[in-house]
A and B are shown apart, each in its own frame.
Chain A
Amino acid sequence: METIWFICVALMVAMYVLLDGFDLGAGAIHLFAARDERERRTIIRAIGPVWDGNEVWLLAAGGTLFFAFPLLYASGFSGFYLPLIIVLWLLMIRGLSIELRGHIGDPMWASFWDAMFFIGSALLAIFYGAALGNVVRGVPLNADGYFFQPLWTDFSPFSQNPGILDWYTVLIGLLALTTLVVHGANFIAVKTENELNARSRGISRLFIFATIALTVVATPATFWVSPRMLESFNERPYGYVLPLVAIAGLAGMVYFNMRSNDRAAFLSSSAYIVGMLTSTVFAVYPNVLPAVDPANSLTIFNAASSYYSQAVGLVWWSIGMVLAAVYFIVIYRLFRGKVRLDDEGY
């Protein structure tokens, strides 16, 4: 039962990263991809109808995490207090910037919100990557299952007391940023035409190489900070299929980018993201928050809610997810196709 919920939560998080990932990526590149007001509006309209629904996955995943693993929620959220609240502020700034820029037809007003949209999106991508990096590296949990980490200390690889942001987690943060930039650029390329389409594809190409370089650096770094991760794969060798998915995604990104097949490139960046995330959670399992002292690690067993609670939850969760899938398929079909600014809206 705990394993089922581990998979459920991981699926919801992956869903969130895939969906909100492309609008975060779009936010991070829109200042560079779009040359004028018209193009900028095209990008915002491409994500406008869906970004809010995408973000709901974060809330739903957070709620499900709280429900399935309350001790993880209590420990993780209080331990990462400052970065989490900063993430909240960034989410607010970003949400407001998308919604408010169009409300007053003034160029200064729009430029201000464009800058906020860029800052919010790019920093969120880095923070999400850093959060994943912290989970991989492990945190100094005490025997009661709590910890509190400073935002940063000295960034040294040999630090005895690393902060939430250190060399490793920032590295993962940068990898997350380049990955989501590729993902977002691919999405914008799918949704647009002509110059904007070509420029997005160019940005995607540039960042694909950055992503490959960072992946090559981050993989050995991960096994160095957390040797357990490699052991997990060797204990359960069938798990090697997950990194293969990621590598296939990476190869697909390059190939389809060269062939200018935007849709397939977007699917490839999706595969890469899913492959990387599932590889990570597979290797962390059965821990949910590894501790520096392994005896204090939170696992799916000691952090879980009761059996009855999880069993009841499985019923309503399944119904809820079927409904959510229906809404999402309908909404994405509704807003499918290229974005064109035929008539000037408000």
Chain B
Amino acid sequence: MEDALLVSRLQFAFTVTYHYLFPMLTMGLALLIFVLKSIYMRNGNEFYNTSARFWGKIFAVTFVMGVVTGIPLEFQFGTNWAAFSAFSGDIIAQTLAMEGAFAFFLESAFVGLFLWGERRFGQRVHWFSTLMVFLGTWASGYFIITTNSWTQNPVGYRVLENGNIELNDYWAVLFNPWMFPQYAHNMGGAVVCGAFVMAGLGAFYLLARRHEEYGRIFVKVGVIAGVLGSLWMLFPSGHFSSEQVADKQPVALAAMEGQFETERRAGIVLIGQPDIGNRRIDNPIILPRALSFLIYQNWNAEVKGLEAFPEKNWPDNIPLLYYSYHVMVGLGTIFIAIMVLAAFLLWRRRLYGSRWMLWVLMLAIPLPFIANIAGWFTAELGRQPWLAYGLFRTSEGVSPLVSSGSVLFTLIGFAGMYLIMGLLYIVLMVSEVNHGPEGEEPLESTEGATI
């Protein structure tokens, strides 16, 4: 069964990673589209209205990709992780089912209204639909983060005689203390992603001297959202996220930082390669005492290293966890640098002419996708070897009778399917970008089959 466990883990990791590329963009864009539409409602500038429509089309294609790649995730709890579903279904299914009842219906209804209702119902209803799409996608995010938070920090449960657990405090699960920083951090990441994509596409239009009026709008809105979002990722959301990892999952923190030994005045590893066998970091560049200060606000505080914990509770892929965390933090730092500089130039009214800065913004488009995925890797690898932290090990969760051959069959199928879907998505995006926002008319309610 060892193999079925490995292949099931790979399949879940692959499908959830691929899926999340789309919602991080739609959740970020949903907010920015609402902002564009709201600006139009205030100042009546048609360019903003057309911009909202243009991003609505990009949103629509991305949303469909998110929906179809999201269905396998809910199903996989049952198909591949049956033992975990039986163990914890009383709790995690509660929040997953609530997502269906509250977020999915709302999203599907208002996305339809947003895309087709403008001409028939007028601008006020259209503005309202952008608000509801924003709230719906962010509500979806809340239910998923709440479900994940329970696995990171199980609360509100009672262990039964048969070893399974049952819910005994509904509100404790819905307002899990772990959820607040994680939700703030995750949604901030989505905003950063939407902001970089918007600013980057605007920069492309300015550099290519096409649709320049729209290019300026996209760059302006993207950079303002980007600078706020990037700073938000550092403080407060990032700061409190790492404090709670230090508090509730100290072994995960030690692995993320590559801290093998327990020491006072611990430094922070900026660069280096973890060598698990010899329990050290090779070629390190270390900022002295910084780790002690960041966690405890005390330059002399003691930080627990991996050696302080039994090896069977160590995360089972420390190098990947370490790199994911460092990629996330490193890119986050770069985002702050890029966006603060761009915002400064915007303020000095020199941004639209600074071609080098526009190049940087355009080329930075893929980076927030990488950073967000690295962030999720950090959260999920840090939780290992547990499925529910401290309660239920990943190795116990897999479906008992599903063979590794069957799972490999479906994993290969997903890989092929997602490759084709990814290519289609790119083709569609390129054609939307080439077409550009000009001449974007509101869709009639009987026109267009698309969502």
Question: Residues on A close to B: CB < 8 A?
Answer: 41, 44-45, 48-50, 52-53, 56, 58-60, 62-64, 66-67, 70-71, 73-82, 84-85, 88-89, 91-92, 95-96, 98-104, 144-148, 305-306, 308-309, 312-313, 316-317, 319-321, 323-324, 327-328, 330-331, 334-335, 339-343, 345-346
Contacts and interface: CB of A to CB of B under 8 A. Distances in A.
Nearest to A104: B431
Nearest to A345: B447
A70 B447 contact: no
A80 B80 CA distance: 11
Given A41-B449, A70-B90, A341-B446, 11 more contacts: A45-B449, A52-B451, A63-B99, A66-B89, A70-B89, A96-B68, A98-B450, A99-B451, A146-B400, A308-B170, A320-B105
Q: Which 5 A-B pairs have the closest CB atoms?
A: A70-B89, A77-B78, A320-B101, A345-B447, A48-B449
B93 A73 contact: yes
A73 B78 contact: yes
A48 B444 contact: no
B448 A66 contact: no
A320 B98 contact: yes
* Max count, chain A CB within 10 A of own CB: residue among B61, B69, B105, B428: B105
B339 to A, nearest CB: 32
Interface stretch (B216-224, B261-269, B275-283, B405-413): B405-413
B106 interface: yes
14 contacts: A53-B105, A53-B108, A63-B96, A64-B100, A66-B78, A70-B90, A73-B85, A74-B83, A78-B79, A81-B407, A99-B449, A146-B82, A306-B90, A323-B105
A102 B428 CA distance: 11
Interface in B203-262: none
B82 A75 contact: yes
Contact of B166 (A52, A62, A79, A306): A306
Interface stretch (B109-117, B192-200, B356-364, B371-379): B109-117
B400 to A, nearest CB: 5
Interface residues of B, number: 69
A60 B105 contact: yes
B417 interface: yes
A146 B402 CA distance: 10
A99 B450 contact: yes
A81 B79 contact: yes
B308 interface: no
B89 A327 contact: no
A166 to B, nearest CB: 19
Contacts of A321: 101
Contacts of B170: 308, 312
Chain A binding surface SS class: helix
A103 B89 contact: no
A88 to B, nearest CB: 5
B86 A71 contact: yes
A64 B97 contact: yes
Interface string B120-162: 1000000000000000000000000000000000000000000
A45 B450 CA distance: 9
B104 interface: yes
Contacts of A334: 113, 117, 120, 445
B424 A96 contact: yes
B90 A144 contact: no
Contacts of A79: 401
Contact of A66 (B85, B117, B444): B85
A82 B80 contact: no
* Max count, chain B CB within 10 A of own CB: residue among A48, A64, A73, A78: A78
A77 B75 contact: yes
Contact of B417 (A67, A77, A89): A89
Contact of A305 (B100, B166, B401, B444): B166
Nearest to A77: B78
A338 to B, nearest CB: 9
A130 B120 CA distance: 43
Nearest to A315: B170
A144 B101 contact: no
